Chain A
């Protein structure tokens, strides 16, 4: 079974703190996407990483794809209340037509 495990499952931090969310698998992925989902809405795509070792920055968010393309991380610098939401990694395992979502990390940033 191809799974994407995210950690931590829940995270509650104060505004201004830094945090890292991890997305791990035993399978190789062709690419990985990160989404943020707010209550009552669908997930919104934040970034796609494709190449092993790739690092992408989106303002205060830094995304990294592992060298072996089996894991990824999302680092948020100086978190703000607007960052609150459910963060999901997802992607297609290499050589398959599937698309798998991670277990999710629910982040709450307190003002």
Chain B
């Protein structure tokens, strides 16, 4: 069974731009969660999607948004990029809503904002 895939793996943007990251979950997994990982703050939860609806949200500004498609694939968007948005963005999929104890992570997208 294929794992969680994320594209692109690396991205360089400049301040003020916007970016879209993509995540394909494990086949059959319906829940997708997004996390931001930085050296200073560690791993922080952004949001969780299930059945095309955002079910849970972390403490991030509205510039961070996402969506989920009917095939469970998910995208995350960050608008008006700031230098502090430079991070590894991780996507994780799990079989059902809230089943974070059985989530599987993708390799991440490393975003650098200049």
Structural contact, A97 and B56, CB atoms closer than 8 A: yes
Whole-angstrom distance between the alpha carbons of A92 and B102 in the complex?
A: 12
Whole-angstrom distance between the alpha carbons of A67 and B107 in the complex?
A: 34
Which listed residue, A44, A97, A103, touches B105 by the CB 8 Å rule? A44
Whole-angstrom distance between the alpha carbons of A92 and B56 in the complex?
A: 13
The size class of the interface chain B forms with chain A is 20 to 34
Whole-angstrom distance between the alpha carbons of A91 and B45 in the complex?
A: 12
Whole-angstrom distance between the alpha carbons of A88 and B101 in the complex?
A: 13
B13 within 8 A of A: no
A46 CB to nearest B CB, Å: 12
Interface of chain A: mostly helix, strand, loop or mixed:
loop
Structural contact, B42 and A101, CB atoms closer than 8 A: yes
Whole-angstrom distance between the alpha carbons of A100 and B100 in the complex?
A: 10
Q: Which residues of B, 80-114, contact A by the 8 Å Cβ criterion?
A: 90, 92, 98, 100-108, 110
- Number of residues of chain A lying within 8 A (CB) of chain B: 22
Residues of A within 8 A of B101 (CB): 31, 33, 48, 91-92
- Contacts A44-B105, A45-B103, A92-B100 aside, 6 further interface pairs with beta carbons under 8 A come to A33-B101, A40-B108, A41-B108, A42-B108, A98-B45, A102-B42
Contact residues of B with A, CB < 8 Å? 4, 33, 35, 42-45, 56, 90, 92, 98, 100-108, 110
> Which 7 pairs show the lowest CB-CB distances between chains A and B?
A42-B105, A101-B43, A99-B100, A48-B101, A43-B105, A42-B90, A41-B107
6 A-B pairs in the complex with CB atoms less than 8 angstroms apart: A35-B105, A41-B107, A42-B105, A42-B106, A44-B105, A101-B44
